[in-house]
Structure 1
């Protein structure tokens, strides 16, 4: 199937373009971006112009930041194209619900992607926990914003989500593996004195579930999920790439290894089945944190 990329930035170059190139399901047929292009692929700066020039492109993958994404996705759906949304699927819950309504009326597929759910051991963790009694869960998601978003001020602007840009990855894993849903009880959010979004967050959920997000960690990065049960402790490390049960390696690799290759395989299935997957539970937890969170001012942040 022919697919187009809208937004050719860091995430597109690091993940989307290699995953499409390696997939048996997709052929990259065009790009639309103000700043980037792919050698040998028709490039456009206007979405409507691209769609008019390529009526045979049935799927469009949206890779730009969340704030401008709604209008691009709306126009693609109106043109009868299937749409794949980079995480988070939108800047607000309301616009995500609106896109789903539009897609259902248009009869096209729509996919809110959560790439961390496709890490190698996340499905195995979900399966192991399915019949267990969980006594505690703690998530530690600490990384260096300077490494992953160098100079990208939009992450600290309204709608950029701040530390919830990576933190939502942790929440996507949490909502995938826990056998019962939880909801937020409270949060402490640390905002740099000169920024509009938090750089760190401490979250407390029901059922003794907690999370620690921080965007200031230098050196080795930490993406861990620990779950204590009556049958032992499950530990996901490296964002879900590895899993241990009481310290012993466990779990099997998925059928399609790799986070973004897994997403593109799922999108192919959705398009063929004419289905929609708009699970918004990770974004809902972020919205709850921003509503319930206690604001704490911390040191100014500059690149």
Structure 2
């Protein structure tokens, strides 16, 4: 099958750690150009902007966008207006309305739009979804706690307006929860802890419901030592534990299982399938939950934070 020529935009940590290796190993894509103000990929044609990249390489059929959400809308519009297929790193945009607008524009242009949630592709997420499908859900506990200084060193944008703060990793947990729970999630209340010198939260608690089940989410960006990316679900058949970001699962009466993580290779296989079938995939449930949390939240000022 003919390979798809793709450009990669935003050569930062996530692009280098995940997108570049996934594309290098892909049977579906050829990475032929990049666009970034600060980064380059060895051996790949590099440009300073999307417009320059597309002008220089008109054979590009698809673009993968890995820049921060703030300001991404205009970049995405440039791609869609040029008639190229588009893949968005999570979160897809700075606001829900931006993502909705992009979906409509992509449909009108007749191109694929894929708003990705990489944590949904973790090894044991599908197994958790399938097991929970026939169980009564009694309660859900989400604990997503990591060290911002380790995972986002010096990335001031993440705590600025539009950067999502602790919801940048927290939205990964919400993307898994909305995939595995049989009933939709709704936000009841939230508490956001915002450093005195920042705009976005460094910690958050959210109370939600899924059907009749209470869902408690605890997000923390100041976790040192062991990192926690865990979801526990109490059911009528016992406790399900999905840990290590969805890569390990423990079911009642069964030995724990850990699959091989192929989050980004799976995303690019999905993108190839969408392009070849003429479809799109734009699920906005996780970002809508974040928006709802901001709407109802009590905000608390906490100690200033510096990297």
Within 5 Å, give how 1:89-238 maps onto structure 2.
89-206=92-209, 207-238=213-244
Q: More displaced, 203-212 or 159-168?
A: 203-212
Deviation at 1:52, TM superposition (A): 1.6
Query: Residues 175-224 of structure 1: CA distance to partner in whole angstroms, max 9, x if unpaired?
Result: 00001102000011111111100000011012211100000001110000
Deviation at 1:246, TM superposition (A): 2.8
User: Residue in 2 aligned with 1:239?
Assistant: 245
Deviation at 1:296, TM superposition (A): 1.0
| Structure 2 unaligned blocks of 5 or more | none
Deviation at 1:250, TM superposition (A): 5.0
Two-structure CA RMSD over aligned residues (Å): 1.2
2:292 to 281, 288, 292: 288
TM-score (norm 2): 0.96
1:248 to 236, 246, 254: 254
Contact 2:248 2:258 in 1 (8 A): no
TM-score (norm 1): 0.97
Contact 2:83 2:111 in 1 (8 A): yes
User: Residue in 1 aligned with 2:55?
Assistant: 52
| 3-state DSSP of counterpart to 1:89 | coil
Relative to 1, partners in 2 of residues 1:247 and 1:217: Cα closer, same or farther, differing over 3 Å?
farther
Relative to 1, partners in 2 of residues 1:142 and 1:57: Cα closer, same or farther, differing over 3 Å?
same
Deviation at 1:138, TM superposition (A): 0.5
Deviation at 1:169, TM superposition (A): 0.3
Deviation at 1:247, TM superposition (A): 6.7
Contact 1:125 1:251 in 2 (8 A): no
Within 5 Å, give how 1:30-69 maps onto structure 2.
30-69=33-72
Counterpart Cα distance in 2 of 1:182 and 1:159: 23
